[in-house]
């Protein structure tokens, strides 16, 4: 029997793989400091859970419209107005099963065989796979650590060809934790304007995890004239500790959103009704829990980054947001016997030191590691101490 080339040409999610390995070791009795997961360790806030219970009690257990229930779509539109000073119509918003599905729908609707999608590298592990599943080809342009892993507009433009149809932007960024400032966005917008056939997807799922000292801005805040070919993707997973609820959303041009709705109608047919009611409460209710969680991530960041920099052969720039640090371990790897790359380093750390981190190669950045501080401080301190003992 044979399988489709689309499936054979993609790799399993490395972040999910590492998390599964760490969980299996824990079930076997091993004590693992799990610093690999891209998932908040906080519980979903109580008011959100209560909204879900209420939805069940009131009988909201049936299908909704493919693109989302009216209350949630209204909440999404209000979120964009409140947080981003952007106004969207009801037919410009689609709710999906997490931001990941919104991105998948976009690739399916915008790309086809022969098309290219430009992806800044390092990248979130899912972008290339979704491009390939749409029959298109991912094209990478590298971000320099010396420039803070921020996209250089001139180098970006050099990666475009006649086949380029889509550009991914991700701020706050997974895995680097960097946030694009106003000047960088304006310079990117100038390049995008010169390529009128280019769609732009801005992944903003970590928007509220921001301690850069600057208000969060996206491409449409500095270039509203690009609204006819820009999509803003967001959701409740990270900021509200709702990863398992699977609710994300996208806002963009009307004609394109109608095509996304067709894709979703023939795949999931929509998001779980109960989750949608919970997400409505998340977006419209008290935002204090979001600020508290963000402040705690900042506190953890301030513990993790100096500790990583104190390790011999490791260099780690501070993050602007998210809950990741992205240390460069190439010097460390070069000095370790029997370890040739970041994959081997991550496997060794997991099985010999009891620390789970994700190899940077999974993000297109060999020799780096993604260290998550979406874990309680005891776990973080345990992991850091084990790293110190193993490396040091």
User: Encoding tokens for residue 191?
Assistant: 């390049």
pTM for the whole thing? 0.95
Topology match between the domains 5-43+288-391 and 46-284: no
How far, in Å, CA of 66 to CA of 303, rounded?
Answer: 44
Domain ranges of the chain: 5-43+288-391, 46-284
pLDDT tens across 157-187, in order? 999 999 999 999 999 999 999 999 999 999 9
Question: CATH classification of 5-43+288-391, choosing from 3.40.50.620, 3.90.1150.10, 3.40.50.1110, 3.40.50.300?
Answer: 3.90.1150.10
What is the pLDDT, as a whole number, of residue 76?
A: 98
- Phi, psi at residue 117, to the nearest 5°? -120, 125
Mean per-residue pLDDT over the chain, rounded: 95
CATH class of 46-284: alpha beta
The list of the chain residues with pLDDT below 70 reads: 14
Q: In residues, how long is the chain?
A: 392
Cis peptide before 181 (omega within 30 of 0): no
pLDDT tens across 59-92, in order? 999 999 999 999 999 999 999 999 999 999 999 9
How far, in Å, CA of 52 to CA of 56, rounded?
Answer: 6
């Amino acid at each position: 029997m044979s399988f489709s080339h689309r499936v054979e040409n993609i790799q399993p999610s490395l972040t999910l793989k590492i998390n599964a390995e760490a969980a299996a070791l824990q079930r076997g009795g091993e004590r693992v400091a799990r610093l690999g997961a891209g998932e908040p360790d906080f519980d979903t806030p109580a008011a959100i859970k209560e909204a879900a219970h209420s939805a069940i009690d009131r009988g909201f257990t049936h299908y909704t419209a493919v693109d989302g229930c009216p209350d949630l779509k209204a909440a999404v539109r209000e979120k964009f107005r409140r947080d981003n000073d952007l106004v969207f119509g009801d037919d410009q918003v689609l709710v999906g099963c997490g931001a990941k599905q919104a991105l998948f729908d976009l690739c399916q609707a915008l790309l086809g065989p022969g098309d290219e999608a430009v992806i800044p590298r390092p990248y979130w592990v899912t972008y290339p796979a979704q491009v390939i599943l749409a029959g298109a080809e991912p094209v990478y342009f590298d971000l320099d650590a010396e420039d803070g892993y921020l996209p250089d507009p001139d180098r970006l433009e050099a990666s475009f060809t006649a086949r380029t149809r889509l550009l991914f932007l991700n701020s706050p960024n997974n895995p680097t934790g960097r946030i694009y400032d106003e000047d960088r966005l304006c310079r990117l917008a100038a390049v995008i304007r010169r390529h009128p056939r280019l769609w732009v997807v801005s992944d903003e799922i970590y928007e509220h995890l921001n301690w850069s000292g600057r208000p969060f801005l996206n491409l449409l805040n500095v270039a509203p004239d690009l609204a006819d070919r820009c999509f803003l993707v967001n959701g409740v997973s990270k900021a509200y500790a709702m990863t398992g609820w699977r609710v994300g959303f996208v806002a963009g041009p009307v004609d394109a959103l109608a095509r996304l709705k067709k894709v979703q109608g023939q795949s999931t047919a929509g998001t779980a009704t109960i989750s949608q009611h919970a997400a409505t409460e998340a977006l419209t209710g008290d935002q204090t829990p979001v600020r508290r969680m963000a402040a705690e991530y900042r506190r953890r960041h301030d513990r993790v980054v100096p500790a990583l920099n104190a390790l011999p052969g490791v260099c780690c720039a501070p993050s602007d947001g998210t809950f990741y640090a992205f240390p460069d371990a190439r010097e460390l790897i070069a000095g370790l016997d029997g370890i040739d790359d970041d994959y081997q380093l991550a496997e060794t750390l997991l099985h010999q030191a009891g620390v789970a981190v994700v190899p940077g190669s999974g993000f297109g950045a060999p020799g780096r590691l993604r260290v998550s501080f979406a874990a309680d401080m005891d776990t973080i301190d345990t992991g850091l101490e084990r790293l110190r003992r193993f490396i040091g």
